[in-house]
A and B are shown apart, each in its own frame.
Chain A
Amino acid sequence: MTETTDIFLNLSIGDLILLAGIIIGIFILLKINKVLFNHIKKKTKAKQKYKYLSLQPIIRLIIIALGTIWVLIIITQPSEVNIITLLAAMSIALGFAFKDYISSIIAGLISLYEKNYQEGDWIEINGVYGEIEAIKLRTIKMRTLDNTEVIIPQLKIWNTTIYNANAGSRNLMCVTNIYLDPNHDSYMVKEIMERVTFICPYTQLEKPIKIRVNELPQSTHYRIKSYPLDPTEQGAYKTNLTMRVKDALRERGIKFSDIPTRYRST
């Protein structure tokens, strides 16, 4: 125990100033990293944006890791005994106090390595669907379609299924649901829906457009699968497309399903 306290007592004033300098330096570098990538996010064209954004958490991790090692070297002035003592003390304390926290950090490290998702991706975790705004060591910050910010601990990736809608690219498939009265010519309706989706200027034309039909007890369910030009505006895209499809169908006298949602099976 005496040896452990000695580690800290041996620090000179110069060491303490250096330590303070390093910690301030780490914060400044983290801030620069954040500001720089926010700038890149705003200014870079959509295509390159995704490429650069995945670097942000890696750089943050490198800054923190190098800073921590440097601080430890100054504090412990490493000798074999110092390192073993410090590690033992740290592992016992952290093991008890920050079990979940550390799990999250480890999960964060693994996610950085596996790259299952990155900033700018649209993912669904635990029923929450949104765009990843930031990947931190312990948490993922997401923004949902109704502009709600959601913080999810990285720990969740251990045992949760993650749906990634665009996987690092700007191609994000949207599904627009339309329910019609079953009594109609479905060939004609499918053709109209295809045509309207192509005509919609918000649609990415070089990606496929698929229409899936599902007959339900008292309605016909059409699922239009298409890609918006801008994944961040998928909500607006689906709204626009739904309005256009409804206009086109109504003009041709096709009726919509009036079965209340609670009776509608999907």
Chain B
Amino acid sequence: MNEKVEDDKDVPNLCRVIPLEDYEIPQGPREVKEKIGGLFRNLFKSTKEENFLSYNKLNSFSLRQLDNILPEPDWEEMVQYFQKELNKIDYKKLLLINKPFSGTDQIVEKWVETANYKLLTPPTYEEILNYHKRKDNVFELGEEENIAITNLEKWFLRHHNGLGLLENIVQNLSKHSNEVIIVCQSWAWKFFKILNIPFTNFEQRILQTMNESALKHWLLNLMAQNNRKKFLYRLTDSGDLIFEEQLSLVEMGEEKGDKIKTKIEKENNMEQLIVQDEDDELKLKTKEGVEEEIQLKVEDKFMRNLIAYAQGLPMICWHILRDNLRTRPDEDFEFDKEEEVKLERKRFYTIWVKPWKGITMPEIPKNMNSEENILLDSLILHNGLSKEKLALILNIESKKVVSIINYLETHGLIRRKEEDVLNIVPSAYPNVRDYLRSVGFLIDNLEVSK
């Protein structure tokens, strides 16, 4: 089943189109040994922790600054790799399973722009619910066209009248004479499987999830995308870098003579400068002018924990990282000044990252009732819904839905995505998924843990 070819290594992890049984989720440093070690460390640790910098005294970035530092991915570079992967598969009809926050739908959407495919946009929910009143086909499919659907989960509603249209389109596409690519969200796919929606003739594949090195590579590319400034990502508790690749960036450095690399200030108010001397050595220079050699270290557990918590889903990592970036109050992050552009190659800007143990993920409140559970499940299954549609699915009055929404919003589990569409908060998704599995909901389990 493995269709690995020689140039497999060139393809980013996220773009590998693989059979469902080959899907693997990354493991974090969560082995028993690690846990026992952590227990002992917590038991005997000093109550007064010595942080490199106090996270609370740092400033948040504005949205504009964040968009510069870590912009939203446009998936442009993935398109060519995705095409390469498609060339390896012998398919006429392809069903791609899209794990929530994996970016698969966005990659395929971007790819469709360059490929000779017609993208079918999802119908409105009114069209879905009224489909049983019509006898005709909703979409006229040209026989010569290649067809793509990037979000099949938007073609149905969990209602007794909400499946007819989906069955019709899947049936028609199964018989379509040309190529078809459908992207379907993994929860909806599992639901359709239980309902025996016939994906006859469809080859079922998934894009491999990210591992630690792929994530680092992807994030560093994103960071380099919008700005010419050089950022060092360092943890507030130890001052260590989170990207190993940046170590070589510092070491390779700038032209000789570019003195200031980054400025840091420890809790004792002693100002320190990291400078690079004529022999390319990094020195720590204090206010008094004392110079000593320093070594920037890399903390690799942060990224390993991040990717393991996010179950390899890149957009969850992206959200968590963006939410936990800070800057020193005196660090100047003005991006548009001309003089800054001149200086940019000479200076490193430090972006401070909250250490993993300090990051709190949204937790599931105790004593959740079945309506709250179902609301969470419905939002994932449909990849976002309005409160009116939630009321229809739950079969309860809108007023009650509003109070459930408020409750879940307060606990940081859901958020408004577009105007009135609600969806799960990315950083809450892994916890929500585990919770829904524990209370008996059908989840999207297809992965094999290593």
A238 within 8 A of B: no
| Interface residues in B362-379 (C-beta closer than 8 Å to A) | 366-367, 370, 373-374, 377-378
The DSSP consensus for interface residues of chain A is helix
Query: Which stretch of A22-30, A101-109, A192-200 is in the interface?
Result: A192-200
- When chains A and B are docked, how far (Å) is the Cα of A66 from the Cα of B184? 61
Q: A192-B160, A205-B191, A243-B395 are in contact. Are A46 and B374 (CB under 8 A)?
A: no
Picked from A45, A170, A195, the residue with its CB within 8 Å of the CB of B163 is A195
- When chains A and B are docked, how far (Å) is the Cα of A236 from the Cα of B374? 14
- When chains A and B are docked, how far (Å) is the Cα of A240 from the Cα of B42? 48
User: Which of A170, A201, A243 has the most B CB atoms < 10 Å from its CB?
Assistant: A201
Q: How many whole Å from A246's CB to the nearest CB in chain B?
A: 11
| Interface residues in B155-194 (C-beta closer than 8 Å to A) | 158-163, 191, 194
Whether A206 pairs with B370 at a CB distance below 8 angstroms is no
Q: Closest B-chain residue to A207, C-beta based?
A: B440
B43 within 8 A of A: no
Whether B395 pairs with A198 at a CB distance below 8 angstroms is no
The DSSP consensus for interface residues of chain B is loop
Contacts of B373 in A (CB 8 A): 229
Whether B367 pairs with A42 at a CB distance below 8 angstroms is yes
A149 within 8 A of B: no
Contacts of A198 in B (CB 8 A): 194-195
Q: How many whole Å from A183's CB to the nearest CB in chain B?
A: 22
- When chains A and B are docked, how far (Å) is the Cα of A195 from the Cα of B167? 13
A230 within 8 A of B: yes
Q: A230-B370, A240-B395 are in contact. Are A201 and B442 (CB under 8 A)?
A: no
- When chains A and B are docked, how far (Å) is the Cα of A199 from the Cα of B195? 9
- When chains A and B are docked, how far (Å) is the Cα of A204 from the Cα of B366? 21
Whether B366 pairs with A42 at a CB distance below 8 angstroms is yes
Contacts of A170 in B (CB 8 A): 440
| Interface residues in A145-201 (C-beta closer than 8 Å to B) | 170, 192, 195-196, 198-199, 201
Q: Considering only CB atoms and an 8 Å cut-off, how many residues of chain B contact the other chain?
A: 25
Q: How many whole Å from B394's CB to the nearest CB in chain A?
A: 7
Whether B374 pairs with A196 at a CB distance below 8 angstroms is no
Whether B158 pairs with A229 at a CB distance below 8 angstroms is no
Q: Closest B-chain residue to A202, C-beta based?
A: B370
Q: Closest A-chain residue to B133, C-beta based?
A: A251
Contacts of A60 in B (CB 8 A): none
- When chains A and B are docked, how far (Å) is the Cα of A46 from the Cα of B160? 29
- When chains A and B are docked, how far (Å) is the Cα of A244 from the Cα of B366? 29
Whether B439 pairs with A201 at a CB distance below 8 angstroms is no
Whether B393 pairs with A248 at a CB distance below 8 angstroms is no
Whether A195 pairs with B438 at a CB distance below 8 angstroms is no
Contacts of A229 in B (CB 8 A): 370, 373, 439-441
- When chains A and B are docked, how far (Å) is the Cα of A244 from the Cα of B373? 19
Whether B374 pairs with A202 at a CB distance below 8 angstroms is yes
Contacts of B395 in A (CB 8 A): 240, 243-244
| Interface residues in B14-32 (C-beta closer than 8 Å to A) | none
Whether A195 pairs with B160 at a CB distance below 8 angstroms is yes
Picked from A196, A206, A230, the residue with its CB within 8 Å of the CB of B160 is A196
Q: A199-B160, A201-B378 are in contact. Are A233 and B370 (CB under 8 A)?
A: yes
- When chains A and B are docked, how far (Å) is the Cα of A148 from the Cα of B15? 58
- When chains A and B are docked, how far (Å) is the Cα of A206 from the Cα of B441? 8
Q: How many whole Å from B40's CB to the nearest CB in chain A?
A: 27
Whether A199 pairs with B158 at a CB distance below 8 angstroms is yes
A258 within 8 A of B: no
Q: Closest B-chain residue to A46, C-beta based?
A: B439
Whether A205 pairs with B194 at a CB distance below 8 angstroms is yes
Q: A46-B439, A206-B442 are in contact. Are A199 and B162 (CB under 8 A)?
A: yes
Which chain A residues have a beta carbon within 8 Å of chain B's beta carbons?
A: 42-43, 45-47, 170, 192, 195-196, 198-199, 201-202, 204-206, 229-230, 233, 236, 240, 243-244, 247-248, 251
What are 7 sample pairs from A and B whose C-beta atoms fall under 8 A apart?
Answer: A42-B366, A42-B367, A201-B374, A202-B370, A243-B395, A244-B160, A247-B160
9 new A-B contacts, CB < 8 A, other than A47-B438, A201-B394, A233-B370, are A46-B440, A195-B163, A198-B195, A199-B163, A201-B158, A201-B378, A201-B393, A206-B442, A230-B370
